Chains A and B, each alone.
Chain A
C-alpha cells in the first residue's frame, strides 16, 4: 500500500460527459502529479501541484483541469469526453517538487468512455 488513494476505481461514462477523479496523497506529501496511461501513448504526465499551486504542466488537454485543495487532496476534471480519453489515470505524490524524490503512485482510476 503506497498510502495514495484514488477514487473511483472504475468509471464508465458516455462521450460528451464530464467526470471528476479524486486523489488523496500520502500523509505529509505536498506534491501531487497526475499521469495518464494508455496503450498507444504509454505513461504521460498531465499536471503537477505543490501545496495548492500549479507547478508544472505536461500534455494536458484544454478540456482537462485540476486543482489541489487546502487539505492537499487533488481532483482531475475531464470534460467533453471523447472515446480517446479512455485510459488509466494515476495520481502520484512526493514530499518535494524535486524529480529526484521517489513518487508514490495510487492504484489508478480506469476511465471507459463509450
Chain B
C-alpha cells in the first residue's frame, strides 16, 4: 500500500544553519504531497504542498520539490530560526486521494538553538 518514509530525528541545529529533512514515498499514481508542521502543544498545520511532478511548494522560507523519478519530497530551508523548532511530517493522501485520509511519516523533531 501507499507509504511515507522520512528521516527520523531528532535534528538539532544552530540558528541560521541549513535544514534538509528527507522524505520518500510509495504510492499509486501521482498523489499530492504535503508537509505538515506541529508546534509544541498544538495541532498539525499545513506547511506546504505540491500537486504534481516537478512542482515546488514553498512557505515561510521552506521549500520542497516533488521528484517523481526519485519518489521524493525533501523539505529544505536555507537558514533556520529558533521559531522553526517543531515536529515536521511528510504526508500523502491514501489511495491517491480517492480515500481522503492522509498517510503520515513518523515525524522529524527539529530543535534550533540560538
Q: Which residues of A contact B (CB under 8 A)?
A: 2, 4, 31, 33, 35, 42-43, 45, 48, 50, 55-56, 58, 90, 92, 94, 96-108
Contact = CB atoms under 8 A, between A and B. Distances in A.
Contacts of B32: 99-100
A99 B102 contact: yes
Nearest to A58: B101
Contacts of B97: 98-100
B45 interface: yes
Given A31-B100, A99-B31, A104-B45, 5 more contacts: A43-B89, A56-B100, A99-B94, A105-B45, A106-B43
Nearest to A33: B101
Contact of B101 (A4, A45, A107): A45
Given A43-B89, A99-B31, A100-B93, A94 B104 contact: no
Interface of B: 31-32, 34, 36, 41-46, 49, 51, 89, 92-107
Given A42-B106, A99-B32, A99-B94, A55 B42 contact: no
6 contacts: A2-B45, A33-B100, A96-B100, A99-B98, A99-B101, A100-B31
A4 B44 CA distance: 11
B55 to A, nearest CB: 12
B63 to A, nearest CB: 18
